[in-house]
Amino acid sequence: MEKTIISVAVAGSRPTKDMNPAVPYTPKEIADAAIACSKAGAAITHIHVRDPDTGIVCSRIELFKEVVDRIRQECDILINLTTSGGNIPGINVIEERLEPVTLGPDICSLDIGSMNFGDHVFENSPEWTRAAAQRMREHGVKPEIEVFDAGHIRQAIHLIGEGLFDEPPFVQLCMGAGWGIEATPENLLFMKNQLPPGIPWSVLGVGRMQLPLIAMGIILDGHIRVGFEDNLYLRKGVLLESNAQMVDVAVNLVEHLQHEVATPADARRILGIGR
């Protein structure tokens, strides 16, 4: 039985301080949240950045760099930078999406497959996928292959078979996001069973399904993700006070289910990431 990696997505792109005053906006707030989560037991932090004044999601490389530098000065949590780029306009979107890779994070998200997300299309073309996989390999960055539906897993398996990803490939099952697959226990079993045997995988559940799906993920020997990007509530009607509070819940759940929490060093070993 492998140790359980806890990832925490501390800001995301959609939550606001109006929804929960603890949502971090500035690079210092985002980095401080990640550092607190490291102390609570998270091995990986997934980072989006916001305009410090408005809180609107952005992709300014200097903000990513400040967050990375602040975190690395304080702790050894693995840093996973987003390349989702849903806020990037223009004709050179792929290159702009891939700018965070140049900062040398441990991991970058790599979204597979397009889908409807709210009132817009979250576009991830085959051209994007191949370019992102190649760039991450060139920079020694581990791709976190994010899939939002069963067809995305089929595409990921095809690309794994082409050798685009170094061993072992790492897959994040994103459930309940946009108009992707619904976050239910039955669907988690279905998605997990579509994956190639033996590869490391993680699950996230949006909103009230965060806790049920991470519990199932632990039981199924997967890894788990929590954090404000996916959920702002401790329980119905009770807002979380911090990202670290949800990491505490996840750590206790892992231990109550007779598993062990992975350290950053464990996560590097499990995912095949060098320092």
Query: What pLDDT, in 10s, does the model give residues 191-203?
Result: 999 999 999 999 9
Overall domain count for the chain: 1
- What's the predicted TM-score (pTM) here? 0.96
Stretch 67-80: mean pLDDT: 98
Residue 87: predicted pLDDT: 67
Q: pLDDT for 12-43, tens place per residue? A: 989 999 999 999 999 999 999 999 999 999 99
Would residue 17 count as lying in a domain?
Answer: yes
Residue 210: predicted pLDDT: 97
Please give the backbone phi and psi of residue 145, each rounded to the nearest 5 degrees, phi first. Answer: -80, 105
Output 45 or 275, whichever has higher pLDDT.
45
pLDDT at 275 over 90: no
* Region of residue 133 (phi > 0: left; psi between -120 and 50: alpha; otherwise: beta): alpha
| Cα separation, 216 vs 185, whole angstroms | 7
Domain that holds residue 215: 6-271
pLDDT at 119 over 90: no
| Amino acid, res. 215 | A
| Residue given tokens 């409807």 in the structure block | 116
The alpha helices in the chain, defined as continuous H runs, are 27-40, 61-74, 93-97, 126-138, 150-161, 185-194, 210-219, 243-256, 264-271
Provide the token pair at 187: 């669907």
Would residue 163 count as lying in a domain?
Answer: yes
Would residue 226 count as lying in a domain?
Answer: yes
Would residue 1 count as lying in a domain?
Answer: no
Would residue 37 count as lying in a domain?
Answer: yes
The band of 106, judged by pLDDT with boundaries at 50, 70 and 90, is: very high
Q: pLDDT for 204-249, tens place per residue? A: 999 999 999 999 999 999 999 999 999 999 999 999 999 999 999 9
Would residue 155 count as lying in a domain?
Answer: yes
Residue 90: predicted pLDDT: 63
The CATH number of the domain holding residue 247 is 3.20.20.70
Would residue 76 count as lying in a domain?
Answer: yes
Whose CA is closest to 191, among 151, 159, 230, 137? 151
Would residue 208 count as lying in a domain?
Answer: yes
| Cα separation, 203 vs 205, whole angstroms | 7
Write down the number of H helices and E strands in the chain.
Answer: 9, 14
